[in-house]
Amino acid sequence: MTGYVDTDRAQFEIFKSLPRDTPIEMLNLVQFNDLANYPGDHERARDGLTGAQAYALYGQHSGPVLKKVGGEIIWRGGFDVTLIGDPSEQWDAMFIARYPTAGAFLAMVTDPDYKKAVVHRTASIKNSRLIRARGLPPQDIFA
């Protein structure tokens, strides 16, 4: 299994090239490290936090920035089983964040307070997926 923690530059450039004035939803799938992996000089490096505890700190520190840009968590779920896909991808956190515009997401990730919070996210994650989506009208069929 390949672990992904942060965006790849090329993928982020694609994100930035898409329309910024439309609402988006971001699907987040996260696997935690057993123990948080902080840089050696970080104040939390010797605390012995679990990945889940470090991710909770990320949520505490990034949540106000999410709200400031008009974002919200619209769905959270608990993982049961993967029916199609890599069975080793068992997610510890799954949620969808909605942003009023893609530009609001970009404002969040460039906010100085958010940048400080990211150290907790990076320390906590073994593997993740972050997928940009746009809402479509509901239908009674798969299409």
The string of pLDDT tens digits covering residues 97-139 is 999 999 999 999 999 999 999 999 999 999 999 999 998 999 9
Please give the structure tokens belonging to residue 35: 């123990």
Calpha distance 19→50 (Å, rounded): 38
φ/ψ of residue 121, rounded to 5: -65, -50
Residue 12 lies in a domain: no
- Supply the pTM of this predicted model: 0.92
Residue 1 above 70 pLDDT? no
Residue 72 lies in a domain: yes
Residue 13 lies in a domain: no
Q: Write the CA distances from 76 to 27, 54, 69, 95, integer angstroms.
A: 10, 18, 20, 4
Calpha distance 66→117 (Å, rounded): 12
Residue 118 lies in a domain: yes
Residue 11 lies in a domain: no
Please give the structure tokens belonging to residue 134: 């746009």
Q: How many domains does the chain have?
A: 1
- What percent of the chain has a predicted confidence (pLDDT) above 70? 99
Q: Residue 128 pairs with which residues in a beta bridge?
A: 30
Residue 142 above 90 pLDDT? no
Residue 3 lies in a domain: no
Place of tokens 């940009």: 132
Residue 93 lies in a domain: yes
Residue 121 lies in a domain: yes
Task: Report DSSP letters for 10-50, one per residue.
Answer: HHHHHHHHS-SSS-EEEEEEEEE-SB----TTSTTTTS--B
Widest pairwise Cα distance in the chain: 54
Residue 7: per-residue pLDDT: 86
Residue 3: per-residue pLDDT: 83
The string of pLDDT tens digits covering residues 28-56 is 999 999 999 999 888 888 899 999 999 99
**Domain containing residue 34: CATH number:** 3.30.70.100
| 125: containing domain | 19-133
For 77, counting Cβ atoms within 10 Å of its Cβ (0-12 exposed, 13-18 middle, 19+ buried), the class is: exposed
